[in-house]
Structure formats: C-alpha cells, structure tokens
Amino acid sequence: MTNQPSFETIRFDVADGVATITLNRPDKLNALTTSMSKELLAALKTCASEQTIRCVVITGAGRGFSAGQDLAEFGQVTGKFSVGDHLRHGYNRLILAMRALEKPIIAKVNGVAAGAGLGLALAADLRIASEKASFVTAFIGIGLAPDSGVSWHLQRLIGPARAFELLASGRKVRAEEALTLGLVNQVVSAEALDATVAAMAGQFAQAPTRGIGLTKRVLNKVTAMPLAEALEYEAQIQDIAIQTDDHKEGVQAFFEKRPPQFTGK
C-alpha cells in the first residue's frame, strides 16, 4: 500500500497484509470522540477498498481498549442535540461498516472496553483479550440503555439472561469470566498479547480472504432467517465461493499433497 492515510486520534499501520487500527487517546482510555469515529470509519473504508489488506486488528493505545463515548465531549453539547442522530451518524455507521467488511477483524483487547468501546469489540469477528482486559457495559452507570450494537451482539454471544444482567448491573467482567461467558475467544498474558494476535492475523492474511468474507456475509444474514431460507442463502453464497481462485487452489493443493498458496482472490 503506497499512500497510507494519516489520522490524529487513531494510528493506522499496514504491514504484511494486516491493517492495525489503534485507538490513540491513551490518557482518556481511548474514549471515543466524533473525530475518532470519523477517522475510524475512514480507516475501515480503506481496509475495504485496499486489496492487499486481508486482515484488520483493532486495539487501544496504553492501558485501555476504549472507555466508550467521551463523556466530556458529550457533556458539552447544547441546544437541539439529538442523541439518536449522534448514534445514527456515528456509532451505527461504524458498527455496520465493521460487520459489512468482508475481511476478518480481530479485536485485540488490551484493557478495559466500556460502552461504545465494548460495542466496537463485540462487532469484531474475534476477541483476543489480555488477562488485564475487562468489559463494562457502562450504559446503566449513566442511566442509559445500550447502543452501538451492544444489545444485539451481547445477547447473541452470551444469551439474553446474562446480557440483561451485565446491562442492568453495569458490573465489570474480568478477562477470565469473559472467557467462561463466551465473550472472548482467548485470554493470554499481557506480555503474550501482541505475539498471539500477530500470529493469528498473519495466518488470516494468508487465508482465502474471499471465502472468509463470504463466511461473514452468511453469518450476518442467516441469524434473522428460518432454517429453510438459511439453507437457500448458503447455497447461493456457495455458488459464489466456488468461483474463487482460492477454492481452485485449495482443491489442487489437496490432491498435489502440498500446502495451498492462497492469494485472497
């Protein structure tokens, strides 16, 4: 990739097919501002359009992943402000862009993920957490209901009763409990987090990207379908997947008894 966009509130680094987006307001635990949401959306657009990017990692600088909406910025709004519009123009677009990105997204959860920051972590395809990570729904702490897709993702991941308990109490869930609940895929020591995620992202960057993208498309779609429709949708998507170069390469490599060389096409 030649022209990497430059940002103020996030870092955007691309190397070896992996784009790493780092929320970069460490003094405020990477609390999300309007400019940060805009920059995140722009970075995700680049991830979608740039063919050489085959995996995305989202993480936070410093000791937090993200403490959610920056409450100082939010506190400054006056006049005819609509929180609904704030969500529609900001977090809703961001969460939808993450789900629509047909490339794997790993949330590297280095520290606390709260409110809309939790929303970002949950909208990723996988969550790898440091033992120092924690998860706080946070909305109820300021008298609010969930937003940023947290209601939708949380109850699918851990079930409605557990989701309700976490949303209604706002209590902090530490990494080990998050693993037991199914909120994260893996917990590793803080020292091992970078290497664990780098190894996983490196594997995804060599994987059949279109097949992974279509997998994501199927999972997104079938969740709202009855079985018969889901089966039909799978059949339609498989008609697309079977045309990819990586499918042909996978079958050929199998018969030639060699490791496949996937190009992501």
Question: Regarding beta strands 134-136 and 186-188, do their DSSP bridges make them parallel or antiparallel, or are they unpaired?
Answer: unpaired
Stretch near ligand LHQ under the rule CB under 6 A, chosen from 37-45, 52-60, 71-79, 216-224? 71-79
55-60 β-sheet, strand order: 10-15, 18-23, 55-60, 105-109, 126-130, 186-188
40 is a site residue for ligand LHQ (CB under 6 A): no
Interacting span for ligand LHQ (CB under 6 A) from 34-42, 144-152, 202-210, 232-240: 144-152
Among 57, 61, 67, 187, binds ligand LHQ (CB under 6 A): 67
Give the CA count within 13 Å in the CB-facing half-sphere of 103: 27
Check binding of 114 to ligand LHQ (CB under 6 A): yes
Which of 114, 201 has the CB closer to ligand LHQ? 114
Q: Is 150 a binder of ligand LHQ (CB under 6 A)?
A: no
Q: Rounded distance, CA 157 to CA 121, Å? A: 12
- Are the CB atoms for 38 and 52 separated by under 8 Å? no
Residue 15 CB, nearest approach to ligand LHQ (Å): 30
Distance CA 44, CA 38 (A): 10
Binding site for ligand LHQ (CB under 6 A): 28-29, 31, 67-72, 74, 83, 86-87, 112, 114-116, 136, 138-139, 141-142, 144, 147-148
